[in-house]
Amino acid sequence: PQVTSNPKPMHLGMFEIGRALGKGKFGRVYLAKERKTGFVCALKVLHKNELQTGRVETQLRREVEIQSNLRHPNILRLFGHFHDSKRVFLIIEFAGRGELYKMLRKAGSFSEPRAASYVAQMASALSYLHKKHVIHRDIKPENILVGSHGEIKLSDFGWSVHAPTNRRTTLCGTLDYLPPEMLRGDSHGEKVDLWSLGVLMYEFLCGNAPFEDTPIETQKRIVKLNFKVPDFVSPEAKDLITRLLRLDPDKRLPLDQVAQHPWILKHCSKPQTAREKQRNNHQR
Ligand SMILES: Cc1cc(Cn2cc(-c3c(Cl)cnc4nc(-c5cn(C)nc5C)[nH]c34)cn2)no1
């Protein structure tokens, strides 16, 4: 829906509701079409009573506040929101190819060119976020969707905050992606997303997270940096993973150097236009 200068109140009747696309802890997501314009979107329906018991209203408010102001090709758009007596509705960009983690589970692991393309797109999205001093804090395959041209879309800003900060809400879900400073409850900054990018890249290439274990063992392995990159991973990819998975946040490779890393350049150099090919051939 185009946001007009005099926005009319939004309500459920504006939308034709289609099939369920997925479900999360506090509700479901449906395919939806705005009746007036035919605009297709995803409508996330959350139940107020469950939000209250889950004490996640603050996170939801933050998710709406942060995500509605973001504009980047690799960040899922939040176009607007409205509510009725029982439910909150988020009008979200529809990602045409669905959830990345389902693709990862089906494929087992991704090829190095495919993983490099995803890591490069993530680095671009995170660089945009960090320039706005927003940290995502919950980078994992489950929070990445895929657009209709195969581009990735970072979503679920329920854990995002403005840096620096420390955590006030109890952690829930997998610990696999948490950096040591968040496990310790220390104050932390944008560099937590660099650690999670390293965990994400490892999982893309290996099919499992580097510190995957029982919750207690995972925490011990994270703080001791106890992981091994399998031999089938190329030396360049292993180099990038080890430059991101550093206990000291200040030693993690900055995003602009991630984008320029040999492994990324090897797989992601943009295809040359015919003119560029012609010019390069003349220069040989
Ligand atoms: C509640 C709740 C559920 C979820 C997880 N979730 C996200 C979606 C979703 C969104 Cl938000 C936007 N676009 C989507 N496109 C799909 C999709 C496309 N195909 C071909 N298959 C699927 C599935 N899902 C989308 C659905 N569930 N987070 O909070």
Identify whether 84 is a catalytic site residue: no
Does the pLDDT of residue 101 top 60, yes or no? yes
Question: What CA dihedral angle connects 13, 18, 23 and 27, to 10 degrees?
Answer: 10
> Which residue spans within the chain are E strands per DSSP?
15-24, 27-34, 40-47, 78-83, 87-92, 98-99, 134-135, 144-146, 152-154, 161-162
Regarding an ipTM greater than 0.90, the answer is yes
Burial of 158 (0-12, 13-18, 19+ CB in 10 A): buried
Beta strands 40-47 and 27-34 are: antiparallel
Please report which confidence band the pLDDT of residue 142 belongs to, taking 50, 70 and 90 as the band edges.
very high
| Ligand 1 centre distance from Cα of residue 29 (Å) | 6
Ligand 1 pocket, CB under 6 A? 21-24, 27-29, 42, 44, 92, 94-95, 97-99, 145, 155
H/E segment holding residue 176: none
Question: Are 29 and 45 spatial neighbours (Cβ–Cβ below 8 Å)?
Answer: yes
If you measure from the C-alpha of residue 225 to the centroid of ligand 1, how many angstroms do you get, rounded to a whole number? 33
At residue 186, the 3 state secondary structure works out as coil
Is residue 260 within 8 Å of residue 116, measured between CB atoms?
no
Summarised one tens digit per residue, pLDDT across range 53-90 is: 888 898 899 899 999 999 999 999 999 999 999 999 99
